[in-house]
Structure 1
Amino acid sequence: MKQNELIKLMSDEELKRQLMLSQLIFLLLGIFLSIFFFESMEEWLYYLDWKPAEIILYGVLPGFLIVLIDMILILLVPEKYYDDGGINERIFRNQSIGYIFVISLLVAVSEEILFRGVIQTNFGYIVASILFALVHFRYLKKPFLLVSILFVSFYIGYLFEITENILVTITAHFIVDFLLGLIIRFKK
């Protein structure tokens, strides 16, 4: 049975539980691999650098830029190119702002710790960016969505390259997911 057929058989609650489970697995994998790949906690903590100006310049502003570009593309590109099988609709539609905030934060933290904090620091920018896009496998058969997630992945990876600050990428990722979640939530 294909993935989209399996997803259609799942209730919205089951889909949300699967999302939470996958993110907790990413988070635990990121923590476990951090212990394995970094010699000390201080070496890993180096990438968690609280620099508000840097976080705003390289996290907040790029997050808004990504959402703005996405919104322009949504207006210009036929809807069928943006169709992910209705998964994002089912996850965010009719949810509270608090739920969208929490799920967006969980996704941003877990994915960025794993893909930037561990994979990119140990295997490089290109490997991490491609793996990040491939993890979003529901986009693999949707060329427009695949190119979009590749662009976002390489852009966020680049932000980490120039700042070496995981808080920057968590912020950018969170803003993208949170704002797009709100847009889906309030879309008529």
Structure 2
Amino acid sequence: MTQLLIIFAAAAAGLFFFEDVRDVLKLWDIRDMRIIWYGVSIAVIVILADMAVMKWFPSHLYDDGGINKKIFSKRSIPHIIFLTLLIAFAEEMLFRGVLQTHIGLWTASLIFAALHFRYLSKWLLFIMVTAISFLLGLMYEWTGNLFVPMTAHFIIDAVFACQIRFEHVRRDKHDEHVESREKKSPESL
């Protein structure tokens, strides 16, 4: 639902900021190989950095209050792929395609971070989401192609959403295994 609002906001802002629909279409170039080189490379760097943060910092500093777990833990992989594609498209269209194009990289990045309001009370998450937003914005600045940051955004979100899903499945299987062992155990009789 939120992503549909973001798409609507992007469309409305786009009508205001862009003189012609063709100007919006110029932001997208599927034939640009930098989609792969920059988009995938930056996604891998962000994922590795995020994993390092999870390893080196206490979990309370990067815990989002369980919102991402609620969103992704019980969804199928195709549904996760669909949602993360929608999220990447909607957010990149609004924040890079419309806002950054017209109000600048820093302002768009800060608005992006602020809209992830659940991170505002967690300094580490806020810094991370602001840095990632800035990095996605830089990729757009360098390439002029929304597919590049959208690809990176999609990969980052999809990897972490799938990780949440797999952890949920693994935890459920572990719990089932423990329960079945307890039922079979003579000590439980």
Task: Decide: shared fold, TM above 0.5.
Answer: yes
The answer to whether structure 1 residue 55 and structure 2 residue 35 are counterparts is yes
The answer to whether structure 1 residue 147 and structure 2 residue 124 are counterparts is no
Alignment of 1:38-187 (within 5 A): 38-187=18-167
The answer to whether structure 1 residue 30 and structure 2 residue 10 are counterparts is yes
Distance in 1, matches of 2:166 and 2:23, equals 42
Distance in 2, matches of 1:36 and 1:44, equals 12
Q: Structure 1: which amino acid aligns with 2:139?
A: L
4+ runs of 1 displaced by more than 6 Å?
A: none
Q: Structure 1: which amino acid aligns with 2:99?
A: I
How much has 1:52 moved relative to structure 2?
4.2
Please report the TM-score for the alignment, with normalisation by the length of structure 1. 0.86
How much has 1:117 moved relative to structure 2?
0.4
Distance in 2, matches of 1:167 and 1:36, equals 22
SS at match of 2:3: helix
Distance in 1, matches of 2:150 and 2:88, equals 5
Please give the per-residue CA displacement for 1:105-145, whole angstroms capped at 9, x wherever unaligned.
11100111000000000101111000000000000000010
Distance in 2, matches of 1:35 and 1:167, equals 20
Distance in 2, matches of 1:24 and 1:102, equals 13
Distance in 2, matches of 1:50 and 1:83, equals 35
Distance in 2, matches of 1:107 and 1:68, equals 21
Distance in 1, matches of 2:89 and 2:101, equals 16
Distance in 2, matches of 1:136 and 1:22, equals 11
Please give the per-residue CA displacement for 1:146-176, whole angstroms capped at 9, x wherever unaligned.
0110110111011111011111111111001
* Deviates most, 136-145 or 72-81: 72-81
Superposition CA RMSD, Å: 1.0
Q: Structure 1: which amino acid aligns with 2:91?
A: E
Please give the per-residue CA displacement for 1:7-49, whole angstroms capped at 9, x wherever unaligned.
xxxxxxxxxxxxxx11101001101211221111121111111
Distance in 2, matches of 1:143 and 1:51, equals 38
Percent identity at matched positions? 41
**Which stretches in structure 1 are left out of the alignment for 5+ residues?**
1-20
Distance in 1, matches of 2:37 and 2:11, equals 27
Larger Rg: 2
Q: Structure 2: which amino acid aligns with 1:130?
A: L
Please report the TM-score for the alignment, with normalisation by the length of structure 2. 0.86
* Deviates most, 43-52 or 132-141: 43-52
